[in-house]
């Protein structure tokens, strides 16, 4: 069938093979020289595994022509490798593509490990732009993976290898039972036999981006159907990309954002209409700092609530300390006045003695009074609780309030001993709004920082669920940590 070719061989009477660039299940790619135009090109020799009959060979050639036709419809997109031509040589179909001077994302991760968040953000924007254009043209890639994301030396990011791309109007050229795609990047619905759809491309992109920013895949490599049976590992290094990654890795395709919505989530844009901006070669990572987005629903809200005895203990302690200080100072004032006026009951003690007695008496009395009152409220009041949801943070207990994501500039967690405190930075215009502050009784300092959930704090055992929910729902407002020491 002419499947064996060597460097230096001339293909199609004008293309001289230089070196192989990569080999996959659906073809081998060569760096070649177009002798007629005196330019470098990439040549892909398309093949399907297994025995080939004459009829199957004709189908292979038809597939190559169809791939060229599909990719040609996307040739003006700056983030898609241009396809120039398709031809047959010695019984095998070949495709002529744009040669990209650079390396694949797979090579980048293999040589240098996990990539910085800013670089992965640029890659995500470029590939989402390419998929958005392809899906609008009713083309599904079906093999998105790090090896098919090219990082050009001039900074461009391009999606390549539409060799198994399919449009709804195509005649199926593969066996009905054949799952198309690379192991580890195939969406759960495809493993269950569903027809290929654009949502499967988004899942594969989620795996690709996760692997790029974490340095390892979200599912176990040794299990080819792990995406169907396992939950993804919580991202550790993804930072602001965590929400996007977890959205793309949703098992149900209906819960994944499409390419346009994913770009909105990536950019932190409040416009959730799904309208994508026109792609350009210059990819920007700027995010509107004063317009935090409404977060899309992705996963169930996380709710934690203290038990009754923890609530009693926390409220008793706070009330006792407050009562001790309040009545202690009141005792100082009373003792001072009594000493100066010569009250017969304490005249022998003098001014200093009466002040000390008043302070001690007031402190002790205030402490026990506050403890009793705090314990009463703890027994019969609402429990301290926190819910992290797509709408924001809902706090119950002594300082009940709802903080919408649009109210906040940042969210973080801080550990102290066995508990974790949730800290939020409120947007300046909210801090200046008296009506808003009246509805949010937590103390806010001059910098806008507030302990929105105090109570007994978040038990360290519950911190994991809170961090996961923040990664899902808070988006770029939450920059970590993904784990606590």
CB 251 within 8 A of CB 208: no
Spatial distance between the Cα atoms of 421 and 458, rounded to a whole number of angstroms: 6
DSSP of 296-351:
PP-S--EEEE--HHHHHHHHHHHHHHHHHHHHHHHHHHHHHHHHHHT-TTTGGGHH
CB 346 within 8 A of CB 357: yes
- Kindly report each contact of residues 213-218 with a partner whose C-beta sits within 8 Å and lies 24 or more positions away, as own/partner: 213/114, 213/115, 213/117, 213/120, 213/237, 213/238, 213/241, 213/245, 214/114, 214/238, 215/109, 215/113, 215/114, 216/114, 217/184, 218/245, 218/249
Nearest of 388, 211, 218, 365 to residue 295 by alpha carbon: 388
Give the residue ranges of DSSP H helices in 159-258.
Answer: 188-191, 198-214, 226-229, 242-248
Spatial distance between the Cα atoms of 266 and 143, rounded to a whole number of angstroms: 22
* 481 cis-preceded (ω within 30 degrees of 0): yes
What DSSP element (H or E) covers 457?
strand 449-459
299: left (phi over 0), alpha (psi -120 to 50) or beta: left
Beta partners for residue 426, in sequence order: 408
CB 213 within 8 A of CB 237: yes
CB 222 within 8 A of CB 156: no
Bridge-based pairing state of the strands 102-104 and 149-152: antiparallel
Q: What is the dihedral of CA 180, 185, 188, 193, to 10 degrees?
A: 10
Residue 429, token pair as written in the block: 């215009």
Locus of tokens 């000493």: 339
Catalytic residue among 143, 161, 258, 407: 143
Locus of tokens 């991760």: 109
Is 34 in the active site? no
Q: CB count, 10 Å around CB of 172?
A: 10
What DSSP element (H or E) covers 216?
none
Beta partners for residue 23, in sequence order: 28
How many angstroms separate the Cα of 342 from the Cα of each of 201, 333, 337, 353? Answer: 88, 14, 9, 12
Residues labelled catalytic? 143
């Amino acid at each position: 069938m002419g499947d064996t070719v060597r460097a230096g061989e001339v293909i199609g009477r004008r293309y001289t093979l230089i070196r192989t660039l990569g080999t996959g299940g659906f073809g081998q790619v060569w760096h070649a020289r177009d002798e007629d135009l005196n330019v470098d090109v990439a040549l892909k020799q398309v093949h399907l595994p297994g025995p080939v009959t004459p009829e199957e060979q004709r189908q292979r050639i038809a597939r190559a022509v169809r791939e060229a036709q599909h990719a040609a419809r996307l040739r003006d997109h700056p983030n898609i490798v241009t396809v120039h031509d398709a031809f047959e040589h010695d019984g095998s179909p070949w495709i002529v593509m744009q040669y990209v001077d650079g390396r694949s994302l797979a090579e980048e991760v293999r040589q240098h490990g996990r990539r910085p968040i800013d670089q992965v953000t640029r890659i995500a924007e470029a590939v989402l732009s390419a998929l958005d254009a392809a899906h609008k043209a009713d083309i599904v890639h079906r093999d998105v993976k790090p090896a098919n994301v090219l990082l050009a030396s001039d900074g461009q990011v391009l999606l390549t290898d539409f060799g198994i791309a399919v449009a709804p109007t195509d005649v199926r050229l593969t066996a009905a039972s054949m799952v198309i795609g690379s192991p580890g990047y195939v969406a759960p619905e495809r493993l269950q036999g569903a027809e290929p759809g654009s949502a499967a491309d988004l899942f594969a992109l989620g795996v690709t981006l996760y692997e790029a920013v974490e340095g390892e895949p979200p599912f176990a490599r040794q299990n080819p159907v792990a995406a169907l049976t396992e939950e993804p590992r919580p991202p550790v290094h993804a930072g602001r990309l965590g929400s996007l990654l977890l959205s793309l890795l949703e098992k149900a395709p209906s819960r994944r954002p499409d390419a346009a919505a994913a770009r909105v989530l990536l950019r932190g844009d409040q416009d959730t209409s799904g309208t994508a901006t026109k792609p350009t070669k210059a990819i920007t990572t700027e995010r509107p700092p004063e317009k935090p987005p409404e977060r899309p629903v992705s996963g169930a809200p996380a709710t934690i609530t203290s038990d009754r005895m923890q609530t009693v203990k926390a409220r008793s302690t706070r009330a006792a300390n407050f009562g001790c200080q309040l009545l202690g100072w009141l005792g100082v004032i009373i003792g001072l006045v009594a000493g100066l006026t010569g009250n017969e009951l304490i005249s022998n003690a003098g001014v200093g003695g009466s002040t000390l007695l008043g302070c001690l008496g007031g402190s002790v009395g205030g402490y026990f009074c506050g403890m009793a009152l705090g314990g009463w409220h703890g027994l019969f009041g609402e429990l301290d609780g926190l819910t992290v949801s797509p709408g924001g943070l809902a706090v119950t207990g002594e300082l009940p309030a709802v903080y919408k994501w649009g109210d906040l500039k940042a969210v973080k967690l801080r550990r102290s001993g066995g508990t974790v405190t949730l800290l939020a930075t409120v947007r300046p215009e909210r801090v200046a709004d008296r009506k808003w502050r009246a509805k949010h009784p937590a103390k806010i300092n001059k910098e806008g920082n507030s302990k929105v959930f105090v109570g007994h704090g978040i038990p360290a055992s519950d911190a994991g669920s809170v961090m996961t929910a923040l990664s899902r729902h808070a988006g770029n407002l939450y920059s970590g940590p993904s784990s606590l020491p």
